[in-house]
Structure 1
Amino acid sequence: MAVSIKDVARAAGVSPATVSRTLGGGPVSAALRDKVEEAVRRTGYRPNLSARRLRSQESQTVGLIVADISNPFFTAVARAVEHAAYRAGLRVILCNTDENPEKEAMYLQLMEQERVTGVIFAPTRASVERLDQGPRPSFPMVLIDRAGRASAQDAVVLDNFAAGSMLVEHLAGQGYRRIAGLFGNASTTGVERRDGYEAAMLRAGLSPSSRFIAPSIEAAEQEIARWFAKGNLPEAVIASNGLLLMGVVRALRATGRRMPEDLAIAGFDNESWTDLVGPGITVIEQPVAQIGEEAMRLLLERLDAPEAPVRKTVLGGRCVIRGSTARRALDEAAE
Structure 2
Amino acid sequence: MSDAPVTLSQVAREAGVSLATASRAINGSATRSVRQDLRERVLETARRLDYSPDPSAQAMARGRTSALGLVVHDIADPYFSTIAAGVTRAAEREGLIVTLSSTEHSPGRELAFVELARRQRSRAIILAGSRAVLPGVLPGVPSGPPSGEAAARMESDAKALESALTSFREAGGGVATIGQGVGDLPVVEIDNAGGAGDLARALHEIGYRSFGVLTGPTGLRTAADRTTGFLDTLAALGCPALDRDVVDGAFTRDGGYDAMTRLLSRTGAATADPEPNRPEVVFAVNDVMAVGAMAAVRDAGLSVPDDVAVAGFDDIHTLRDVSPGLTTVRIPLDEVSEAATMLALGAAASGAVVRGEVVLRDSTPRR
Q: What is the TM-score when the length of structure 2 is the normalising length?
A: 0.67
Show the counterpart of 1:88.
94
Q: 2:205 aligns with which of 155, 173, 185?
A: 173
2:251 aligns to what SS in structure 1?
coil
C-alpha distance in 2 between matches for 1:112 and 1:87: 23
Q: Which residue is equivalent to 2:180? A: 146
Query: Which of 226, 235, 256 in structure 2 is aligned with 1:193?
Result: 226
* Distance in 2 separating the partners of 1:252 and 1:234: 12
- The structure whose residues are more often helix, as a share, is 1
Residue in structure 2 matching 1:213, options 244, 249, 254: 249
Distance in 2 (CA, whole Å) between partners of 1:267 and 1:286 is: 12
The answer as to 2:84 corresponding to 1:78 is yes
Residue 256 (structure 1) shift: 2.9
Change (3 A) 1:201 1:53: farther
* Cα RMSD (Å): 3.1
**Partner amino acid for 2:207?**
G
The 1-side partners of 2:60 and 2:124 are apart by 10
> Which residue matches 1:258?
303
Stretch deviating more after TM superposition (261-270 or 286-295): 261-270
State the alpha-carbon separation in 2 of the partners of residues 146 and 68 from structure 1: 16
CA drift of 1:183 comes to: 2.4
Contact 2:255 2:289 in 1 (8 A): yes
Q: Please report how far the alpha carbon of residue 327 of structure 1 lies from its aligned counterpart in structure 2 after TM superposition.
A: 2.2
Cα separation, partners in 2 of 1:102 and 1:260, compared to 1, 3 Å? same
Q: TM-score, normalised by structure 1?
A: 0.73
Residues 211/256 of structure 1: CA separation in 2 closer, same or farther (3 Å cut): closer
1:297 Cα offset (Å) = 1.0
Assess, with a 3 A threshold, how the Cα gap between structure 1 residues 132 and 179 changes in structure 2: closer, same or farther: farther
Note the C-alpha offset of 1:54. 11
Q: Is the Cα contact below 8 Å between 2:64 and 2:122 reproduced in 1?
A: no
Cα distance in structure 1, aligned partners of 2:345 and 2:206? 45
1:112–1:269 CA distance, 2 compared to 1 (3 A): same
Q: Residues of 1 paired with 2:206 and 2:319: CA distance?
A: 19
- Counterpart CA distance in 2 for 1:58 and 1:109 is 14
Matched length:
277
Question: SS of the counterpart of 1:176?
Answer: coil
Given the alignment of the two structures, is residue 244 of structure 1 paired with residue 289 of structure 2, yes or no? yes
**1:259-278 → structure 2 map (5 Å cutoff):** 259-272=304-317, 274-278=319-323
Structure 1: give runs of 5+ residues left out of the alignment.
1-16, 27-51, 329-335
Q: Which SS does the other structure have where 1:234 is aligned?
A: coil
Q: Give the percent of matched residue pairs that are identical in Structure 1 and Structure 2.
A: 29
Give the 5 Å matches for 1:221-232.
221-230=257-266, 231-232=268-269
Equivalence for 1:61: 67
1:319 paired residue among 347, 351, 358:
358
Bigger mean CA deviation after superposition, 75-84 or 273-282: 273-282
SS at match of 2:328: strand
Deviations along 1:261-316, one digit per CA (max 9) or x if unpaired, are 111111112234544333311111110110110001111217x9xxx8xx431112
Unaligned 5+ runs, structure 2: 1-19, 32-57, 134-153, 270-277
Task: Measure, in 2, the Cα distance between the counterparts of 1:300 and 1:145.
Answer: 18
Distance verdict in 2 for CA 1:237–1:125, change over 3 Å: same
Runs ≥4 residues deviating over 6 A: 52-55
CA contact (8 A) 1:218 1:247 kept: yes
Q: CA deviation at 1:173?
A: 1.5
After superposition, the C-alpha distances for 1:194-224 in whole angstroms (9 at most, x for unaligned) are 2211221111101234344321222221111
Distance (whole Å) between structure 2 residues aligned to residue 156 and residue 132 of structure 1: 20
